[in-house]
C-alpha cells in the first residue's frame, strides 16, 4: 500500500485477512491518524486475533503520541481495553515517561494503580519521587503497587523510606515491602526491618479451637492445624464462588467497587505464598476453571503478581501429570510471565495437552526463545495447527525452511494447505511458495473450499502475474465463489 489513506480503508474492512495485513503494514505509517484508527479498531472489534495483532503493532510503533493515547484508555469502561492499554504501556512507556508520571496524580484510584504498576515494569529511577509520594495514597492497592514498583526499580535509599511504613501498613503491603527488600539484597535494609518497634497482634479463634486449647493435648495439635487450614481454604473458595456467581448476573462494576477494599483477596494471596501445597492447589484449581474474561481480569488485578506467579510455577513442577494440567490453566492470569525454561520442559515431555497450553502461552506472551523446538513439536499431528498458528503470530521467519520440508511429508491436502498458509504469511513472495501454490492449483482432487483457500493465499502475495494463467482458467469455474475470487485477483 502506498498511503495512510489506503491503510485506513483496509483497517475499516470487515475482512479479517485484509485487516490483519493492514495492521502489519501500519508500522510503516506512524502518523497519529493511523494510531488513532488502530486503537479505535481494537475498542470496536470482537476478534481476539485482531486485538493481539493491534497490541503487537502498537508495541512496535511506540512513540510519545501512542503513549498519550493509551493513557486515556486506563479508565475505559471495558476491562479488556484497560488491560490492553496497560500491557502496551508496560513495554513502550519509556517513550514518554513524563506523561506517565503525571498520571500518578489521577483522581481515579484504579488509574493510579495502573500507573504505579507500569512504572514498576519500566524500572526507571526517574519515577522514584512519584512512587514515594504514592505511599500516602488513600487506596491500599495503589500503595502496594508503588511499593512493588520501588522494589522492581531497586533504589535502596527509596526502600529505606518504605520500611518506615512497615509496622502500620496493611497486611498485603507488609508482605510486599518484605518481598521488595529481598529483591535488592541489602543488609542495612534487613537490619532496619529487624529493629522496628514490632508489636504482637491478637488473633481471635473460633470456639472449636477454644475447645482444643482447654481440653486437648499434644497429639491434637497437628490435627487442629490441618482442620483449620482445610476449613479456611474451603470457606474462602465458597465465598469466592459466591462472588463469581453474583458477578456473572449483576452489575459488574458496582460489585468490583464493593470489593475494592475486601481482605478476602489479601488472604488468598497469603495462602498462595505461605500456605501448604494442598491449600494452594485447591484454590488454583478453582481459579483455573473460571472462563469469564472480565472476572479473570478482576481476579488478576486483585490476586496475581510476580511473587504469586513464581510460587505457582514451583508448585507446578512438583505436581503429578493431572495436577499439572489443572495448574497450567492458571497461567492465563499471569501478566508478564517469564516462562521460557518452563515451556522448554513441556516440549521435551510427552503430554500433548500440556504442549497445547504451552503454545497458547507462547502466543499470548510473545515468547520466541523456544522457536527452535517447534519443528519437532510440529511433527505431532494433533499439534500441527497450533504450532503453525504460533509460528505465524510470532512471525518466526527463521522456521520457513522447516515448514517447507514438512510440507512434502504431509499426507492430506488440508495439512498441506495449513503449512502453505504458514509459509505465505512468513514469506509471501518466496519463489518456493509461489511454485507450491501453482502445483496445488493443478491438483484435480481439490474441493471448492480448498481452491478458495489457495486463491486467498494468492491474494496475500504481491505478484499476481505469476498466477495469471491459473486465475484466468478459474474465472470460468462452475463454482460462483471461486469464479468471483479469481476475477477479483486478476483486477488487483
Which residues neighbour 473 within 8 Å (Cβ) at sequence distance 6 or greater? none
CB atoms inside a 10 Å sphere around CB 149: 26
**C-alpha cell at position 90:** 508496560
**pLDDT score, position 112:** 95
Cell of 31: 502518523
Closest by alpha carbon to 163, among 143, 184, 129, 190?
A: 190
pLDDT of residue 234: 80
DSSP per-residue codes, 282-311: HHHHHHHH---HHHHHHHHHHH--HHHHHH
Ranges in the chain, pLDDT < 50: 199-208, 210-211
Tell me the C-alpha distance between 343 and 346, whole Å: 5
Cell of 296: 479473570
pLDDT at 460: 85
Q: Tell me the C-alpha to C-alpha distance, in Å, between residue 16 and each of 20, 366, 381, 455.
A: 6, 21, 26, 15
Lookup result for grid cell 515494569: 121
**Do 125 and 156 form a contact (C-beta atoms < 8 A)?**
no
The two counts, helices (H) then strands (E), for the chain are: 31, 0
CB 422, CB 439: distance < 8 Å: no
Q: Which is nearest to 358 in space by CA: 308, 146, 370?
A: 370
Instruction: Provide the pLDDT for residue 207.
Output: 40
User: How far is Cα 331 from Cα 328, in angstroms, rounded to an integer?
Assistant: 5
- CATH number (1.10.3660.10, 3.20.20.330, 1.20.1250.20, 1.25.10.10) of 4-194 reads 1.25.10.10
Q: Residues with Cβ < 8 Å from 375, sequence gap 6 or more? A: 399, 402, 403, 406
Question: DSSP letters along 227-250, please?
Answer: HHHHHHHHHHHHHHHHHHHHHHHS
- Any idea what DSSP says for residue 27? G
Amino acid at each position: 500500500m502506498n498511503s495512510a489513506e489506503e491503510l485506513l480503508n483496509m483497517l475499516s474492512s470487515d475482512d479479517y485477512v485484509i485487516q490483519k495485513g493492514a495492521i502489519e503494514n501500519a508500522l510503516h505509517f506512524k502518523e497519529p491518524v493511523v494510531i488513532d484508527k488502530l486503537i479505535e479498531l481494537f475498542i470496536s472489534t470482537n476478534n481476539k486475533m485482531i486485538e493481539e495483532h493491534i497490541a503487537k503493532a502498537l508495541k512496535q510503533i511506540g512513540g510519545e503520541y501512542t503513549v498519550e493515547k493509551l493513557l486515556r484508555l486506563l479508565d475505559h469502561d471495558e476491562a479488556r481495553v484497560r488491560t490492553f492499554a496497560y500491557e502496551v504501556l508496560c513495554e513502550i512507556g519509556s517513550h514518554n515517561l513524563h506523561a506517565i508520571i503525571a498520571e500518578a496524580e489521577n483522581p481515579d484510584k484504579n488509574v493510579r494503580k495502573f500507573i504505579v504498576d507500569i512504572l514498576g515494569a519500566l524500572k526507571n529511577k526517574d519515577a522514584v519521587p512519584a512512587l514515594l509520594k504514592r505511599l500516602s495514597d488513600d487506596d491500599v492497592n495503589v500503595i502496594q503497587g508503588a511499593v512493588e514498583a520501588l522494589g522492581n526499580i531497586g533504589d535502596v535509599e527509596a526502600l529505606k523510606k518504605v520500611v518506615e511504613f512497615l509496622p502500620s501498613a496493611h497486611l498485603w503491603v507488609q508482605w510486599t515491602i518484605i518481598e521488595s527488600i529481598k529483591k535488592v539484597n541489602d543488609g542495612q535494609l534487613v537490619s532496619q526491618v529487624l529493629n522496628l518497634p514490632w508489636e504482637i497482634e491478637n488473633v481471635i479463634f473460633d470456639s472449636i479451637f477454644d475447645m482444643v486449647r482447654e481440653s486437648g493435648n499434644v497429639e491434637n495439635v497437628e490435627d487442629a492445624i490441618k482442620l483449620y487450614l482445610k476449613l479456611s481454604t474451603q470457606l474462602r473458595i465458597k465465598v469466592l464462588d459466591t462472588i463469581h456467581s453474583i458477578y456473572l448476573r449483576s452489575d459488574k462494576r458496582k460489585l468490583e467497587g464493593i470489593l475494592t477494599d475486601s481482605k478476602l483477596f489479601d488472604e488468598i494471596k497469603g495462602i498462595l505464598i505461605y500456605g501448604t501445597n494442598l491449600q494452594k492447589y485447591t484454590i488454583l484449581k478453582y481459579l483455573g476453571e473460571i472462563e469469564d474474561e472480565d472476572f479473570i481480569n478482576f481476579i488478576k488485578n486483585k490476586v496475581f503478581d510476580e511473587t504469586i506467579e513464581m510460587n505457582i510455577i514451583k508448585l507446578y513442577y512438583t505436581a503429578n501429570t493431572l495436577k499439572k494440567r489443572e495448574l497450567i490453566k492458571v497461567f492465563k492470569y499471569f501478566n508478564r510471565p517469564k516462562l521460557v525454561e518452563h515451556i522448554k520442559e513441556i516440549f521435551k515431555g510427552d503430554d500433548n495437552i500440556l504442549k497445547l497450553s504451552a503454545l497458547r502461552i507462547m502466543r499470548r506472551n510473545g515468547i520466541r526463545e523456544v522457536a527452535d523446538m517447534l519443528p519437532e513439536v510440529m511433527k505431532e499431528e494433533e499439534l500441527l495447527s497450533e504450532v503453525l498458528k504460533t509460528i505465524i503470530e510470532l512471525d518466526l521467519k527463521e522456521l520457513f525452511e522447516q515448514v517447507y520440508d514438512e510440507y512434502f511429508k504431509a499426507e492430506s491436502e488440508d495439512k498441506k494447505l495449513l503449512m502453505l498458509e504458514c509459509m505465505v504469511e512468513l514469506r509471501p513472495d518466496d519463489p518456493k511458495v509461489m511454485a507450491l501454490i501453482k502445483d496445488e492449483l493443478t491438483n484435480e482432487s481439490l474441493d471448492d473450499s480448498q481452491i478458495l483457500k489457495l486463491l486467498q493465499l494468492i491474494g496475500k502475495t504481491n505478484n499476481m502475474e505469476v498466477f495469471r494463467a491459473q486465475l484466468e482458467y478459474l474465472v470460468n469455474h462452475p463454482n460462483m465463489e471461486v469464479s468471483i475470487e479469481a476475477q477479483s485477483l486478476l483486477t488487483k
